[in-house]
Amino acid sequence: IDRRFRLNGASDISVSFEFFPPKSEKMEQRLWSSIKRLEPLAPSFVSVTYGAGGSTRERTHATVSRIVNETCLKPAAHLTCVDATKEEVNEVIQAYWDAGVRHIVALRGDPAAGLGEKYAPHEGGYRTTADLVASIRSIGDFEVSVSAYPEKHPESPSWDAELDVLKAKVDAGATRAITQFFFDNDHYFRYVDRVRSAGITIPIVPGIVPVTSFKGISGFAKKTGASVPGWLAHRFNGLGDDPRTSELVAAAVAAEQVMSLADDGVEDFHFYTMNKADLVYAICHMLGLRENRKVRTSVAA
Ligand code: FAD
């Protein structure tokens, strides 16, 4: 059936939103106005990232706690193994449990020195994400999400190794994987085929990034192993000093990607919001999501 008819209600689509913890008062205001704007769309959860090397430990916790206390949203706290002993990481997990948080996005993380440096586990820390997942599950009855890489993690020697890492995380108790961003949907579908062939059955939720800055995203993509197709570069070509048009192009590109995934049966989407609501809100609207009045009343209150 044509998507335009199939998506007459939003019952089959679910979304989640990712935010990063703010560094300044101004960024805090932007984050909260975005959270409040997106809240009535009733996402299944909203996640808050954890800075490289645990640099945002307090800020991530403060943002997640504020979401628990001031919204109807279910928060998920990102947590990494980097630069911390098992005891320190366990304290963070316990503090989340005590604050009423029931969902953690468990990650290995990258060296605090920056992407591209070789990763080495902390001497007294968790060696792998799977170990971290197992520990989270033993501390509390958390839901645990993990990462997935449709174009392979840059450190992966082979697809077998890549899938072994995902399988270990699932065997340790992860129940959902969220993908690194990608621009060519074929990468996603080929990856899901590989994952299913490896006997892994958890949902593989596509991570969608709006291209707010083409230059920025191209640099980041190189480090994360995501490819930037020529057609994407072509669409932004010449818009370097035209942020207004870039924003419109970014919205069109993301909408096209998401609607095409939906056409092919994807019903679950994770948006890297960059703490901005407008573009994500518009795409959710196109997917058929409408404001939930009950949530809206609580936001107004
Ligand atoms: P894993 O999935 O554990 O491993 C990724 C790859 O590393 C493997 O495929 C393999 O190639 C290699 N590898 C891992 N263990 C071994 C081993 N024992 N031997 C050999 N190779 C191994 N980073 C942050 O700092 N904070 C965040 O909040 C954050 N959020 C993220 C959210 C999502 C959805 C995604 C996709 C990534 C996020 N990242 C975040 C980035 C992530 O930390 C990096 O990509 C990091 O390089 C890998 O962490 P991981 O949990 O994905 O690793």
Does the beta carbon of 128 sit less than 6 angstroms from any atom of ligand 1? yes
* Closest atom, ligand 1, to C-alpha of 224: 45
Does the beta carbon of 80 sit less than 6 angstroms from any atom of ligand 1? yes
Does the beta carbon of 155 sit less than 6 angstroms from any atom of ligand 1? yes
Ligand 1: residue whose CA is nearest its atom 7 = 155
pTM equals: 0.94
Percent of the chain with pLDDT over 70: 92
For residues 195 and 105, what is the distance between their CA atoms, to the nearest angstrom? Answer: 19
Q: Is residue 5 very low, low, confident or very high in pLDDT (cuts 50, 70, 90)?
A: very low
What is the rounded average pLDDT for all residues in the chain?
92
* Closest atom, ligand 1, to C-alpha of 127: 18
Does the beta carbon of 56 sit less than 6 angstroms from any atom of ligand 1? no
- ipTM exceeds 0.90, yes or no: yes
Average pLDDT over every residue of 264-275:
97
**How does pLDDT run across 122-166, given as a tens digit for each residue?**
999 999 999 999 999 999 999 999 999 999 999 999 999 999 999
Burial classification of residue 126, based on how many CB atoms lie within 10 Å of its CB (0-12 exposed, 13-18 middle, 19 or more buried): buried
What is the phi-psi region of residue 298: left when phi exceeds 0, alpha when psi lies from -120 to 50, beta otherwise? Answer: alpha
Of the listed ranges 52-61, 63-72, 96-105, 249-258, the one predicted with least confidence: 52-61
Q: Within 10 Å of residue 278's Cβ, how many Cβ atoms?
A: 14
Q: Which of 18, 151, 162, 247 is catalytic?
A: 18
Ligand 1: residue whose CA is nearest its atom 17 = 128
Is 18 an annotated catalytic residue? yes
Does the beta carbon of 226 sit less than 6 angstroms from any atom of ligand 1? no
CA of 147 to the centre of ligand 1 (A): 7
**How does pLDDT run across 73-110, given as a tens digit for each residue?**
999 999 999 999 999 999 999 999 999 999 999 999 99
* Closest atom, ligand 1, to C-alpha of 129: 3
Does the beta carbon of 107 sit less than 6 angstroms from any atom of ligand 1? yes
